[in-house]
Amino acid sequence: MASLKMIKHVPIAGTLECLTGLRIGGTKDDIEIGGVDNPVIRHLRTRFPYIPGSSLKGKMRSSLEYALGKVGSRGEPCGCGLAGCLVCIIFGPHRNTRHSLGPTRILVRDAMMSVDGNEDPERWIEVKSETAIDRSTGIAGNGSLRQNERVVSGAKFAFDISMRIFEDDDEGTLLGSVRQALTLIEQDYLGASGSRGYGKVKFSFIEPAAWREQT
């Protein structure tokens, strides 16, 4: 790219609503002894579930890669680094340090639950007992049940994305690709177990103003 002069940040923000249960797993560090087998990720202090920015960003990237035919033959993220590759411009070329696209254009922050202060975090989480599947055989193993947490439908999270625009960037094209990625997630799913119907979400926008729904 010719110029690395940054012009501005464009905020992309609003509400992500769960239309079905949502499962984004916590790390092992979050698992408490005697707890469920597969907890959802929770904020360490408030105990409310949240959507890590890395989860949302990763799904945006992979959705756009599939739509643009930019997924590698082994399923790896795009690292082409070509000047015309919207995936590499917006998200950064995967494992490619020899490119001239400039910095990653998008910052995706953790999406926190929109709740009032007195609510109980457990109100937004349900536990489903599901038959554990042996991954090697695809067969349910001796009737064992695993307890999986998920965020209940109706939960709302405040998402917050910031887009950096540099002097030579085509702002409309970059923003359009972000909007496309979010629409693709609505058509697909977020988190785990999409084939079981989990993770259907809807985005509504506060910013940019042009993306607010006309009512």
Q: Single out the residue of 36, 67, 80, 152 in contact with Zn ion (rule: CB under 5 A).
A: 80
Distances (CA, A) of 45 to 27, 49, 124: 15, 11, 16
Which one of the spans 78-86, 109-117, 124-132, 157-165 is the region binding Zn ion (CB under 5 A)?
Answer: 78-86
Residues in region 96-155 near Zn ion by CB under 5 A: none
**Closest distance of CB 4 from Zn ion, Å:** 19
Contact 23, 198 (CB under 8 A): yes
Over its C-alpha atoms, the chain yields an Rg (Å, rounded) of: 19
Which one of the spans 39-47, 74-82, 116-124, 132-140 is the region binding Zn ion (CB under 5 A)?
Answer: 74-82
Q: Are strands 201-207 and 140-151 parallel, antiparallel or unpaired?
A: unpaired
Q: Does 78 participate in binding Zn ion (rule CB under 5 A)?
A: yes
92: which residues sit within 8 A by CB, 6+ positions away? Answer: 101, 103, 104
Q: Of 77 and 191, which has the nearer Cβ to Zn ion?
A: 77
Q: Single out the residue of 10, 51, 88, 161 in contact with Zn ion (rule: CB under 5 A).
A: 88
Q: Does 86 participate in binding Zn ion (rule CB under 5 A)?
A: no
Q: Of 46 and 104, which has the nearer Cβ to Zn ion?
A: 104
- The pair of structure tokens assigned to 128 is 């489903």
Distance CA 107, CA 193 (A): 26
Residues that bind Zn ion (CB under 5 A): 78, 80, 85, 87-88
